[in-house]
C-alpha cells in the first residue's frame, strides 16, 4: 500500500509576481480577439447602410447609445493597443529594447500611447 506524500512545491512559486510585460502580453491577445468581434460591428454597420436608410438609422441609434459608445470606445482602444503591441513585438524581434529599463519604457509607452491615441481619435472624429 502506498502512502500519499505532499507534492513538492517550487520555491519560485512563493516569490512569483506578475510583471507588466506579462499582463500586457495577455491583453494583446485579448485585444486581438476583441478586434475580431468588433469587426463584426463594422460589418453590421456596412450591411445596414447597404440595406436601407431605416436599417442604418437603427444601427446609428444603437451605436449612439451610451452602451454603443462605450463598446466603440473600447474597440478603438483595442485597435490602437494591438497596433502598438504589434510594433513592440516587431521591435523585440530585432533583439532591440530587451534590457530591463528599455523594456519597461516601451511597455509603458505602449499603454500610454494606446490611451492617448484613443482619446485623440475620439476627440477629433466624435466629440468635436
Domains by residue range for the chain, with CATH: 22-127 (1.20.1300.10)
Cell numbers 511597455: residue: 107
Q: Is 112 exposed, middle or buried (0-12, 13-18, 19+ CB in 10 A)?
A: exposed
For 23-37, what is the mean pLDDT? 93
Which is it for the CA torsion 103, 107, 112, 114, positive or negative? positive
Specify the pLDDT at position 35: 96
pTM of the model: 0.81
- Residue 128, classed as helix, strand or coil, is coil
Determine the Cα–Cα distance for residues 75 and 73; give it in Å rounded to an integer: 5
- Residues 43-62 have pLDDT tens digits of 999 999 999 999 999 999 99
The pLDDT tens digits for 67-106 are 999 999 999 999 999 999 999 999 989 989 888 889 899 9
- Residue 17, marked binder: no
Tally the C-alpha atoms within 13 A of residue 103's C-alpha that lie toward its C-beta.
13
Residue that is written with C-alpha cell 510583471 in the block: 19
Average pLDDT over residues 10-23: 73
Distance CA 91, CA 70 (A): 31
Long-range contacts of 86-93 (CB under 8 A, 24+ apart): 86/28, 89/28
* Collapsed DSSP state (helix, strand, coil) of residue 99: coil
Amino acid at each position: 500500500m502506498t502512502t500519499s506524500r505532499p507534492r513538492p512545491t517550487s520555491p519560485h512559486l512563493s516569490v512569483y509576481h506578475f510583471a507588466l510585460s506579462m499582463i500586457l502580453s495577455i491583453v494583446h491577445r485579448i485585444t486581438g480577439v476583441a478586434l475580431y468581434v468588433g469587426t463584426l460591428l463594422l460589418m453590421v454597420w456596412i450591411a445596414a447602410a447597404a440595406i436601407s436608410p431605416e436599417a442604418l438609422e437603427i444601427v446609428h441609434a444603437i451605436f449612439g447609445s451610451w452602451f454603443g459608445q462605450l463598446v466603440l470606445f473600447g474597440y478603438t482602444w483595442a485597435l490602437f493597443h494591438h497596433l502598438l503591441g504589434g510594433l513592440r513585438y516587431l521591435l523585440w524581434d530585432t533583439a532591440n529594447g530587451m534590457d530591463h529599463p528599455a523594456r519597461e519604457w516601451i511597455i509603458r509607452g505602449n499603454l500610454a500611447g494606446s490611451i492617448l491615441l484613443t482619446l485623440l481619435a475620439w476627440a477629433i472624429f466624435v466629440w468635436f
